[in-house]
Structure 1
Amino acid sequence: MDVDDNFPAALRIVTEIQNIVNKDVKLKEFDLVIQPESQNKSPVLHVEHCLGLETWCVRHVYQYVYQRLILHRKRLKRIEPNDVVPLLTCALLINPEVFTFWNMRKELVLSGFLELYAELHFSSLSLSFKPKCAEIFIYRRWILKNIQSNDSITNDIVLNELSVTMSAAAAYASNYSAWNHSFWIVEKSLNLKNFQIMVHQWDFTKKWCREHVSDHSCMQYRQRLLKCFISDKSCLRHLKSYFSKSLVRFFNPEEKHKIMKPSDECINEALGVIIDELYFNEDLIVMYHSHEALWNHRRFLCHLLANTYCTDSVKEVLMNNERRICTSIIKGNETFIKKHAIWLQRTLSIPIKLL
């Protein structure tokens, strides 16, 4: 039986969706609308630049487009490019995790049937439905590489890409695919000597961490940014110089304590950035108890500090600082503090005696 006979309304629905995607340049979201039965009207909804498809027809529409696309891919049935585009649009909106369909879309881009900037918009629409889909981010990177080869990636494109990525990260907790894509953008910006993008992300994710204290992917992203700051002095020059207070606080915890000063070569901006992040992490741990992501991030910072600045003064002050943390906020954090103390002893040879 021909696929047309399975669901006669499929072609009309596919065409309607493609027309909306083509005409509404402000289209921002796609989702499935729960409706178990047909209401004798179009299942395609278009309201306030949002596109929806009623659930009762999803299986039939997807089966229709999938069968046709596979037949075309295997060269068992010839379909004109203009007819393939609507099929791919519907297929990738409903299920964007089929990499074969994205490859077919790439071929249409290279053939001139699809435009690069329009594909950025379409893939962001697909991303609104599946914000963690790695295939979409891979496709976006391919699009951006082609834009860069034909032209140059402007600052507006970069900021828009970061905005799309942050929207995906907000829609799905611990969205590693989104944060990984964001770091790819940062790396491209660094290659072009655009250091302000990295500074922007450093400041932005600090606010993000305050609101998403369990998002380990964001903290891992900050770890990667921090490594870039330490390895590239050009990045540090663009950061605000507010790390001196953190240095004073770290090496002089209280007036009664012996003033401990590291060797001159250790006092630099990179050390200040690490210590400032260490205190920021401490503030979050004090405010939000029992979040493993915060303690994992702290262990990374301790390891980075101890291994980047291998001096006795830094290690001794780090030991005193971690002892202070572990003894002052033990209530409500007993399990995490015990794990942290064991880790300090085993990994950094820093003994922490708990009361």
Structure 2
Amino acid sequence: MSELLNQFEYILDSDPLINEVGFIHPSKFATLEKDSESGSSRLKASDALDGGDGSFWIRDHKLGISSEVVLRLYKAAREQFMNAIAEYKKLGDLSLPSAEALGIVVMKCSKTLLLLNYDFGTAWNSRKLILSNKTQASMFTYELRLSALVLSYSTKSEQAWSHRRWVIKNMARNLTTLQEILREESDLVEKIAERSKMNYRAWNHRCWLVSYMDREHVIHELKQSKTWARLHVADHSCFHYRMRLIIRILEDCCRKQEEGSCDSCVEVYLIWQEELDWNEELIKRYLGREALWLYRRFLSLSWIRHFTSDVNDVFSPQKSQSSIQVNVNAFLDKELLLVNSCSEGSDD
């Protein structure tokens, strides 16, 4: 094993709270050194670059790796991992103490490798293989921290997002604090989306989380994400997430309606109406934004499909079908007025 790899693993072991990794050009190390409060914030490998520059920089749980040593470091980490996983797979009985010890080695080697190559599927799968026989919640929580660390330098890594979903799916079986985990996941997606615009993979992960949320959490997410959506009206992914939340609310309403409860359906109707009004406000303020119009199309079609008959039954069961049709026509007339007013006000 190379000294460079030893140094890298020493850094990872010495600071388990590292929460961000980045690759830095050697010319930037001098600037980082100057900005550091103390020289101890920078660690040097024994095979440092010419001119006395180091290969790593760490401060405040932020790790920088020189771009000139990444290839050498990756080759050494890959060889180490492949040897470890080959030895692990040779074992017939995974309940033996030797299998436990070798599993720890595989987990350590795969972590080192994934911080250098986020797309190494075999490394991700090796972690799943070992964790599939574990039940400790702490081990799965650690996987969330590791994948978050990978996402700090590759925000669109499908492998990392997929691994998080696998971990959460396993945690959901026995974890009583699942809703808290889901809130932390939503916060992570929002932070990453702020740094990485139009990040479909991050928002797709957040949409997937909705299936595990309880009703209270879904309502909270709908309200909480409104501020972000208002500031990013061109990001369709955020509005797609709001669609998923509203569909989940509607599904719960339909289920309760089958059970004979109408109160929740009235609440859903009011939520839908509020969403239409809010969307109209944004459309008039930000003319020509496609994401806003696509979202309104979803809201309008869903309103017509689900509420033009059911809502009248809820509020006034004695109303006839003709009065329902009038309401539909009134709604469509209002939509056409909105389209015409925005078309006239557009610069196009």
Shorter-chain TM-score: what band?
A: 0.7 to 0.9
The aligned counterpart of 1:242 is none
Equivalent position of 1:161 in the other structure = 185
| Closer, same or farther: CA 334–80 of 1 in aligned 2, 3 Å | same
Is 1:209 matched up with 2:229? yes
Q: Is the 8 A contact 1:96 1:136 kept in 2?
A: yes
Match for residue 89 of structure 1? 111
Aligned counterparts, 1:299-318, within 5 A:
299-310=297-308, 311-318=324-331
Deviation string, structure 1 residues 42-100 (Cα, Å, up to 9, x no partner): 32221112122121111221122223333544569989444433432232122222222
Instruction: Quote how far apart the aligned CAs of 1:101 are.
Output: 1.0
Listed as ranges, the matches of 1:192-203 within 5 Å are: 195-203=215-223
Aligned-residue offset at 1:107: 2.8
Q: Tell me whether 213-222 or 136-145 shows the greater mean CA deviation.
A: 136-145
Structure-1 separation of matches of 2:183 and 2:205: 13
- Contact 1:97–1:135 (CA<8 Å) still a contact in 2? yes
The aligned counterpart of 1:257 is none
2:44 is aligned to: none
Once the two structures are superposed, the pairs formed by residues 111-260 of structure 1 within 5 Å of their partners are 115-190=139-214, 195-233=215-253
Name the counterpart of 2:26: 35
How far is the alpha carbon of 1:11 from its aligned partner? 2.0
From 13, 35, 52, give the equivalent of 1:19. Answer: 13
Q: Which structure 1 residue ranges, 5 or more long, are not aligned?
A: 237-264, 336-355
Matched residues, number: 294
| Cα pair distance change 1:111/1:320, threshold 3 Å | closer
State the one-letter code of the partner of 2:54: S
Looking at structure 2, the residues matched to 285 and 119 of structure 1 have their Cα atoms a distance apart, in angstroms, of 41
What amino acid is aligned across from residue 107 of structure 2 in structure 1?
Answer: V
CA-CA distance at 1:225 after TM superposition:
0.9
1:202, distance to aligned residue in structure 2 (A):
0.3
Equivalent residues of 2:106, 2:126 under 8 A apart:
no
- Answer yes or no: is 1:333 the counterpart of 2:324: no
SS in 2 for 1:132: coil
SS of the counterpart of 1:129?
coil
Deviation at 1:301, TM superposition (A): 1.5
Partner SS, residue 240 of structure 2: helix
Aligned to 1:256: none
Distance 1:178 1:276, change over 3 A: same
Counterpart for residue 255 of structure 1:
none
Counterpart in the other structure of 1:48: 60
CA distance 1:49–1:76, shift in 2 (3 Å): closer
CA drift of 1:115 comes to: 2.0
**Which of 61, 70, 81 in structure 1 is aligned with 2:73?**
61
Q: Does the 8 Å contact 1:18/1:89 carry over to 2?
A: no
- Given that 2:22 and 2:64 are in contact with CA atoms closer than 8 Å, whether structure 1 keeps it comes out as yes
Q: Is contact 2:234–2:291 with CA below 8 Å preserved after alignment?
A: yes
Amino acid in structure 2 at the alignment position of 1:328: S
**Alpha-carbon distance between aligned partners in 2 of 1:87 and 1:65, rounded to the nearest angstrom:** 7
CA RMSD of superposed structures (Å): 3.2
SS in 2 for 1:149: coil
The 3 A distance-change label for structure 1 pair 333 and 304 is farther
- CA deviations over 1:79-132 (Å, ceiling 9, x no partner): 944443343223212222222211112233346699222222111111111122
Structure 2 unmatched runs, 5+: 28-48, 91-100, 257-262, 309-323
- Asked if structure 2 preserves the Cα contact closer than 8 Å seen for 1:229 and 1:235, the reply is no
Identity of paired residues, percent? 26
- Which residue does 2:125 correspond to in 1? 103
